[in-house]
Amino acid sequence: MKLRSFGRSGLQVSPLCFGGNVFGWTADEATSSALLDRFVEAGGNFIDSANVYSRWVPGHQGGESESVIGRWLKQRGGRDRVVIATKVGLDMPGLGAGLTPAQIERSVEDSLRRLQTDHIDLYYAHSDDANTPLRDTLEVFDRLVKSGKVRAIAASNYSAQRLEEALAVSEREGFARYEGLQPRYNLFDRQPFESELAPMCQRHGLGVAVYYALASGFLSGKYRRPEDIEGRARAAALKQYANERGWRIVAALHAVATRLSSTPATVAVAWLMAQPTVTAAIASATSIEQLDALLKATALTLDAASLAELDAASVQ
């Protein structure tokens, strides 16, 4: 698997980023470890987590995903073989939500302890904090980079305007800058990334790791008609995609997959990897079979006709 440069951060990452939101949740510890082993064996090195994963599960407090990754790292070794990304900023017990210096300083120590490592490769601001001056947030991130606790910083869920403002603050103050962005982007959710964020990321040389690669599973190939969604655990999340355009995209994915002897999930992720401003596609798996389908996307080159068919089906 050929690695890609994540903007100007110096990090070399695999085009498939393993989404760690499932670790310790829908993938138990043994399954998570087996999936991580398989991912690394296949040449993947980019692993995405967040301090808040998986607080939404009854009985969880957040930090479960980082803890699973940390125990796996301790057991397997080879810390330098992987690029670990995690995040700060969403609501955590006893900490709240936000990007104040105090919140970041406490969160990074908690994440380092759970990950059982002395540094985080890529540390994201999980969501913009309009109540904290950008200078305050970036100043503490800069200290973390200079101390070696963090190799590079990035932003997730920022608007183009706020990201531009943050980059301007870093340049003016001489702080470490956000070296990348993690936006929502897939064949269905193409805006505002394509119109606003992608040109800006390209202009500033930022890395881009996109989430919701399979649109909550809607693009996985499991759903071909409205009846397939009814009764599903994620029905509410899936129904936002179940419209005329969504089913048109699904039909195109199946058509391209059949022609290329592939699967809709593999094709959907390969389409993301083919976009010039996308560095990596973040996707989760809870079985080796699912992971192998995602890994195949790194070796699948979509021909011009296939790209045109998918673009035509997903046009807004």
Nearest alpha carbon to residue 175 among 206, 143, 131, 201 = 143
Mean pLDDT to the nearest integer, 92-112: 97
Q: 227 falls in which pLDDT band (50, 70, 90)?
A: confident
Nearest alpha carbon to residue 294 among 48, 15, 97, 95 = 15
Whether residue 235 is predicted with pLDDT greater than 80 in this model: the reply is no
Tell me the whole-structure pTM to 2 decimals.
0.96
Lowest mean pLDDT among 129-133, 223-227, 233-237, 305-309: 233-237
Percent share of the chain, pLDDT over 70: 100
pLDDT at site 58: 94
Cβ contacts of residue 65 below 8 Å, gap of 6+? 20, 21, 22, 23, 24, 25, 49, 50, 53, 54
pLDDT at site 228: 77
Q: Which of 53, 123, 185, 211 is catalytic?
A: 53
Tell me the C-alpha distance between 110 and 124, whole Å.
15
Tell me the C-alpha distance between 180 and 31, whole Å.
30
Q: 40 falls in which pLDDT band (50, 70, 90)?
A: very high
Mean pLDDT to the nearest integer, 144-159: 98
Q: 34 falls in which pLDDT band (50, 70, 90)?
A: very high
Whether residue 68 is predicted with pLDDT greater than 90 in this model: the reply is yes
Tell me the C-alpha distance between 9 and 5, whole Å.
8
Whether residue 217 is predicted with pLDDT greater than 70 in this model: the reply is yes
pLDDT tens sequence across 251-309: 999 999 999 999 999 999 999 999 999 999 999 999 999 999 999 999 999 999 999 99
SS3 46: strand
Whether residue 166 is predicted with pLDDT greater than 70 in this model: the reply is yes
One-letter identity of residue 2:
K
pLDDT at site 316: 76
Percent share of the chain, pLDDT over 90: 93
Q: Given the structure tokens 């199946």, which residue do they identify?
A: 254
Mean pLDDT to the nearest integer, 53-67: 95
The better pLDDT of the pair 115, 233 is held by 115
Whether residue 150 is predicted with pLDDT greater than 80 in this model: the reply is yes
Tell me the C-alpha distance between 53 and 66, whole Å.
8
The H or E element spanning position 315 is: none
pLDDT at site 233: 67
Whether residue 78 is predicted with pLDDT greater than 80 in this model: the reply is yes
Tell me the C-alpha distance between 165 and 125, whole Å.
14
| Diameter over CA atoms, the chain | 55
The secondary structure of 149-191 as a DSSP string is SEEEEEEES--HHHHHHHHHHHHHHT---EEEEE-B-SSS--T
Name the average pLDDT for the chain: 96
Question: Which domains, and CATH codes, for the chain?
Answer: 4-182 (3.20.20.100)
Whether residue 123 is predicted with pLDDT greater than 80 in this model: the reply is yes
Mean pLDDT to the nearest integer, 217-222: 92
pLDDT at site 226: 84
Instruction: Identify whether 53 is a catalytic site residue.
Output: yes
